[in-house]
Amino acid sequence: MCGIMGYVGPRPAVNVLVGGLRRLEYRGYDSAGIALGTTDGIHLVKRAGPLRVLSEELEQNPPPPAAIGIGHTRWTTHGGVSDRNAHPHLDCREQIAVVHNGIIENASELRLELESRGHELRSETDSELVAHLLEEVEGDLLHRLQVVAKRCEGAYALLAFDLAEGLHMCAVRRTSPIAIGFNEAEVFVASGAIALAPWLERCIYLDDGEIADLRPGRADVFRLADLAPIEKAFHEISVSGDLPDAGRHRHFYMKELYEQPSAWRSVMQGRLDDSGNVDLADTGLTHEALRAVQRLLFLAMGSSLHASQMAVERLQQFAQIPAEAILASEFRDTRTFLEPGTLAVAVSQSGETIDTLAALRHARDLGATVLGLVNAPSSTIARESDFVFDLRAGTEISVASTKAFTTQAVALELLVSALAAAHGRVDTTGRLAALRAAPAIAEDFLMEFRLPEDLIARCAAAPGVIFLGRGQDLSLAREGSLKLKELSYIWSEAFAAGELKHGPLALVDSRVPVIVCATDQKHAPKLRNSLAEASARGAYGVSVGADLHATIHLGLPMHDSLAAYLLGALPLQLLAVSVAEARGCSIDQPRNLAKSVTVE
């Protein structure tokens, strides 16, 4: 989603802004812009399209030198994709510049008010309103932004400067993330620490309801409500300062897909010993903490939800602990109480997904203890959790998740085993031996595996693709379907195999591939029947895992249910990218999607 970047200091601000925005590109956006504070006023350049378009414009027409500036990549919410709607936005006098991430929910009322008072609004965005509201308030920028932020309802982050105040800018956070770093002569602001990494080793994160006063060499943080000062802790910026690079791969999606075996090793490192014992001490989950868990509630979206659904299956089977996985966006509206002893597990690659964060807060308010399972240990979800399980999968750039999804499945299996052991349930040692062996076998599999060309061509030409599964394979079917639709824009849907005859079978004809996930051998007989029913209606049948006598069978080199699940994800991920490439789709940044979903 939108990326914010700000800089005050002696370097040419334009270089820092464009450099930072480039590192935020992976979040997904559709236009970009910068505003520089110069001696001749605010120099504004905004372009619809990729950041490349803005950079080329800046190369052809170099902007005047500036020691202060803000930049933005916009993911459209209010108003179409255009130069005009791109950020930053200015007030009527062109003295104040603002960038914004999030949604201002009372924008219509504010717009009417501002227009009735004679403001000239130049865009259709909610964001521009902030610049005009700031224009109307008296006092220094910090006080003015405090007043304006209190008038704006919704979830957002704002960054602004006023030419009249020199080398000074202010940022405020209500839900959308803001990271700030500084050294003796400079101050940097961004939507994520990844954008600060080339220049800084540590940063602070604004929490909700905080406002920051930023000048070269300092960042003073206050409570938005009353401007009471707040001491902030510094966090190490653990990502490299080099621009992320897909290396020998065609794109980040493929790079990350191939990184899966090493990500699985990394999440197991120090947590699973050779005898199969699991130790989650680094997460804070001691034996006593695990013993106290009476039920689990997984809160997540997208691929993270699918990994959670897999964990629910495993928990019921191996730990006999009640568990459910809920779409985080539905949780707040549907739950008013939780059972005592509930551990809410917020599963999120980014650790910033707003729906998951809001669900976590609601679960905490209802009395749950919270475990954050994230790939970003300094993220908001991690900071607001009682326990933090760091996924250690390495930065995931591609919007469509690969390594984070399967590594979540590994991490959750460790959690299942730790809970089973703490509650004196089954001996899980044998199963975990297969888990330890999975990375090496997956590496060989990835080297040798080739998808049949006919399968790729059939899917690329299909009006729709159906995925089926049972038990753990239903979550894998959902993940396969999500990958295919995200990357190739082909309509697809996953169903529980038992549901087929109750309606979805009407969709099946000879043009519709039916892909059956069968990584858990115990469901093979019933899945074979489902596939036979679809094939009898002309479907092009595909099986992944157990041999179901399909037209195309994608066999796997491991039969242990968890290891097969992890390996089974690989052909589905490869199928999605192969079909997308055959259709000429953008792989790392699919249309309309964002990596980190920070608006509801």
- Sign of the alpha-carbon torsion through 406, 407, 408, 414: positive
User: Two tokens at 113?
Assistant: 């008010």
> Which residues have CB under 8 Å from 490's CB, separation 6+?
459, 460, 462, 464, 465, 484, 579, 583
Q: Which is nearer to ligand M6R, 188 or 253 (CB)?
A: 253
Q: State the minimum distance, in angstroms, from the CB of residue 314 to ligand M6R.
A: 19
User: Two tokens at 187?
Assistant: 């101050």
For ligand M6R, which residue of 76, 101, 175, 304 counts as binding (CB under 6 A)?
304
Q: Which is nearer to ligand M6R, 369 or 596 (CB)?
A: 596
Options 101-109, 144-152, 185-193, 345-353: segment touching ligand M6R (CB under 6 A):
345-353
User: Which residue(s) pair with 513 in the sheet?
Assistant: 540
Beta-strand relationship, 169-174 and 154-162? antiparallel
3-state secondary structure 57-122: HHHHCCCCCCCEEEEEEECCCCCCCCCCCCCCEECCCCCEEEEEEEEECCHHHHHHHHHHCCCCCC
For ligand M6R, which residue of 95, 176, 283, 353 counts as binding (CB under 6 A)?
353
Q: State the minimum distance, in angstroms, from the CB of residue 125 to ligand M6R.
A: 24
Burial annotation 526-551 (CB, 10 A radius, 16+ → b, else e): ebbebbebbbeeebbbbbbbbebebb
Q: Which is nearer to ligand M6R, 475 or 543 (CB)?
A: 475
How many amino acids of this chain bind ligand M6R (CB under 6 A)?
15
* CA dist., res. 412 & res. 391, Å (int): 10
Asked about 595 being catalytic, the answer comes back as yes
Options 120-128, 215-223, 319-327, 394-402: segment touching ligand M6R (CB under 6 A):
394-402
Asked if residue 283 binds ligand M6R (CB under 6 A), the reply is: no
Cβ proximity of 164 and 91 under 8 Å = no
Q: Which parts of 476-495 interact with ligand M6R (CB under 6 A)?
A: 482, 486
- CA neighbor of 8 nearest in space, from 274, 246, 217, 302: 217
Cβ proximity of 101 and 598 under 8 Å = yes
Query: Measured at CB, which residue is nearest to ligand M6R?
Result: 302
Q: State the minimum distance, in angstroms, from the CB of residue 193 to ligand M6R.
A: 15
Options 32-40, 113-121, 123-131, 349-357: segment touching ligand M6R (CB under 6 A):
349-357
DSSP string, 205-266: EPPTTEEEEEETTEEEEEETTT--EE----EE--S-SSPP--TTSSSHHHHHHHTHHHHHHH
- Sign of the alpha-carbon torsion through 171, 200, 389, 433: positive
Asked if residue 401 binds ligand M6R (CB under 6 A), the reply is: yes
Q: Which is nearer to ligand M6R, 348 or 519 (CB)?
A: 348
Q: Which of 2, 170, 459, 585 is catalytic?
A: 2
Options 5-13, 298-306, 455-463, 508-516: segment touching ligand M6R (CB under 6 A):
298-306
User: Two tokens at 576?
Assistant: 């999605």
Backbone dihedral region for residue 73 (phi beyond 0: left; psi -120 to 50: alpha; all else: beta): beta
Asked if residue 573 binds ligand M6R (CB under 6 A), the reply is: no
Q: Which of 46, 255, 403, 595 is catalytic?
A: 595
Asked if residue 575 binds ligand M6R (CB under 6 A), the reply is: no
Nearest 5°: the CA angle 366, 151, 136 is 165
Options 20-28, 60-68, 347-355, 359-367: segment touching ligand M6R (CB under 6 A):
347-355
For ligand M6R, which residue of 68, 103, 527, 597 counts as binding (CB under 6 A)?
597
Map residues 119-148 to x or -, x wherever contact with ligand M6R holds by CB under 6 A. Answer: ------------------------------
Q: State the minimum distance, in angstroms, from the CB of residue 163 to ligand M6R.
A: 37
Q: Which is nearer to ligand M6R, 73 or 329 (CB)?
A: 329
Asked if residue 348 binds ligand M6R (CB under 6 A), the reply is: yes
Asked about 2 being catalytic, the answer comes back as yes
For ligand M6R, which residue of 148, 301, 310, 410 counts as binding (CB under 6 A)?
301
Catalytic residues: 2, 595
Q: Which residues bind ligand M6R (CB under 6 A)?
A: 301-304, 348-350, 353, 356, 399-401, 482, 486, 597
